[in-house]
């Protein structure tokens, strides 16, 4: 693939660890290193060519100076490094920041990496106090399950959406995961009835509507147009548009569902790309809970507010359907390796646009919409990726 005059920085390397239920004996730094090694190998570049680093805030071996610690461990000397802390939107947020850093002349090749360990019986809790502990926690809204259950209940109360409609989202996630051998729920499909029969964790959320935490890691390499050389192993993938917005932290302060920050982020990303949502060949939508997917479909303008369930009844969401959705299974089917779970949506989009999603390849895939969601529909990032700049 030769150089392209005026082209944007491109995604050229992917590295992803297979999700595992528990990561006994492993370290976050070790998993970061392996993810970066695989991404560099995939890109066909040497480690020394990486001069930019974006990493998440959660590195178990260091509470501070995270970029310096990771750089030292990897043997890098980046000219640009930073922590991106946007919860589930972190992976998507990294991509446009990498592009911006390259365009600003700060560096040429950026690695964006997230990883986490998951040890049996160990629960991480923040000792810090913040406003959420004043207005939400005393009333029982402690933790993601409770907060997202409130959002699902709000959707059902305001719009009349049903349990069956939300369960259909989980069913498609599991169905698509059957075509990804690395998915945590590979060979474990779930029908709508199976989802509804799974234990009720926090009313109205069932077990199969909630991501299962796993261990894993992922890395994406973004490089300048000048570095896209003939020896590159894969077609480059470009970020054509990006949007981001943060509206709140505590669920008690959340805006109306139709005004969720993803509605702005998606519209902004599509506007930058000069494309419509209907032109997207893949919807790679963050899916920590079924309620997030339903709201995102509405925020994207694919259907009116409150109508995702009726809309889904008339469409198909596999790789061969009319609206391919999370063809790797999403986090509900593939697994959520903490912040790296959000990166899985980017990696699947790039694989589809490269034509490398073997066994689940979308025909003539040109554009993908990727979303990231942090906190409780609070921190939102959207990307439009494409194979042409």
Average pLDDT over residues 192-213: 97
pLDDT at position 232? 64
**Residue in this structure with the two tokens 């474990």, named with its chain if needed:** 188
* Calpha distance 247→257 (Å, rounded): 12
Instruction: Read off the pLDDT of each residue in 236-250 and give the average, rounded to a whole number.
Output: 87
pLDDT in tens, 157-166: 999 999 999 9
Handedness of CA 301, 304, 307, 312 (dihedral sign): negative
What percent of the chain stands above pLDDT 90?
72
pLDDT at 2 over 50: no
- State CA 302 to chain mean position distance: 20
> Which ranges of the chain does DSSP label H, i.e. alpha helix?
28-43, 66-74, 90-103, 132-135, 144-159, 163-177, 192-197, 261-273, 290-299, 308-312, 330-334, 340-354
Where do the domains of the chain lie, and which CATH numbers do they carry? 10-120+212-386 (3.40.47.10)
Q: What is the pLDDT of residue 203?
A: 96
- Give dist(CA 367, CA 388) in Å, integer: 9
Supply the pLDDT for residue 121.
76
Which pLDDT score, from 0 to 100, does residue 8 have?
Answer: 81
pLDDT at 229 over 70: no
pLDDT at 40 over 80: yes
| Percentage, residues of the chain above pLDDT 70 | 92
Work out the pLDDT band at 244, boundaries 50, 70, 90. confident
Per residue in 45-94, pLDDT tens? 999 999 999 999 988 777 777 887 888 889 888 888 899 999 999 999 99
| pLDDT band, very low/low/confident/very high, at 133 (cuts 50, 70, 90) | low
- Summarize pLDDT for 10-24 with one digit per residue, the tens: 999 999 999 999 998
Looking at every residue in the chain, the average pLDDT score rounds to 90
Give bridge partners of residue 83 from the DSSP assignment. Answer: 55
Cα angle vertex 203, ends 197, 204, to 5°? 65
DSSP one-letter code for 17: P
pLDDT value for 91: 95
**What mean pLDDT is predicted for residues 205-227?**
93
Residue 199 has pLDDT above 60, yes or no: yes
In order of 53, 165, 252, the CA distances from 96 in angstroms are 13, 33, 30
pLDDT band at 344 (very low <50, low <70, confident <90, very high): very high
Q: Which of 32-41, 185-194, 370-379 has the lowest mean pLDDT?
A: 370-379
48 by Cβ neighbours in 10 Å (0-12 / 13-18 / 19+) ranks as: exposed
């Amino acid at each position: 693939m030769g150089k392209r005059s005026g082209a944007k920085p491109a995604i050229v390397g992917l590295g992803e660890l297979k999700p595992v239920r528990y990561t006994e004996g492993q370290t976050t730094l070790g998993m970061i290193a392996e993810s970066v090694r695989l991404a560099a190998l995939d890109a066909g570049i040497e480690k020394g060519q990486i001069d930019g680093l974006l990493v998440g805030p959660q590195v178990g071996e260091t509470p501070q100076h995270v970029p310096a610690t990771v750089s030292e461990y990897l043997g890098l000397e980046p000219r640009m490094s930073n922590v991106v802390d946007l919860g589930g939107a972190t992976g998507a947020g990294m991509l446009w920041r990498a592009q911006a850093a390259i365009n600003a002349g700060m560096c040429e090749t950026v690695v964006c990496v997230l990883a986490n360990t998951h040890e049996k019986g160990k629960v991480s809790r923040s000792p810090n106090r913040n406003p959420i502990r004043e207005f939400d926690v005393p009333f029982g809204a402690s933790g993601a399950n409770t907060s997202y259950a409130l959002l699902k209940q709000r959707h059902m109360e305001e719009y009349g959406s049903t349990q069956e409609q939300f369960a259909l989202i989980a069913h498609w996630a599991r169905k698509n995961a059957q075509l990804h051998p690395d998915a945590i729920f590979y060979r474990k499909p779930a029908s709508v009835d199976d989802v509804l029969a799974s234990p009720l964790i926090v009313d109205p959320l069932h077990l199969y509507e909630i991501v299962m935490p796993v261990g894993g890691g992922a890395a994406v390499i973004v490089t300048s147009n000048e570095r896209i050389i003939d020896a590159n192993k894969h077609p480059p993938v470009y970020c054509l548009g990006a949007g981001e917005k943060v509206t709140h932290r505590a669920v008690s302060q959340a805006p109306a569902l139709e005004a969720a920050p993803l509605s702005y982020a998606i519209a902004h990303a599509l506007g930058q790309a000069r494309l419509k949502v209907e032109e997207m060949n893949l919807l790679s939508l963050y899916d920590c809970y079924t309620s997030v997917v339903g709201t995102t479909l509405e925020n994207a303008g694919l259907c009116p507010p409150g109508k995702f369930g009726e809309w889904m009844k008339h469409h198909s969401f596999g790789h061969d359907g009319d609206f391919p959705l999370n063809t790797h299974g999403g986090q509900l089917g593939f697994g959520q390796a903490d912040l790296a779970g959000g990166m899985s949506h980017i990696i699947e989009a790039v694989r589809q646009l490269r034509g490398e999603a073997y066994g689940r390849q979308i025909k003539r895939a040109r554009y993908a919409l990727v979303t990231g969601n942090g906190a409780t529909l609070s921190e939102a990032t959207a990307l439009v990726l494409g194979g042409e700049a």
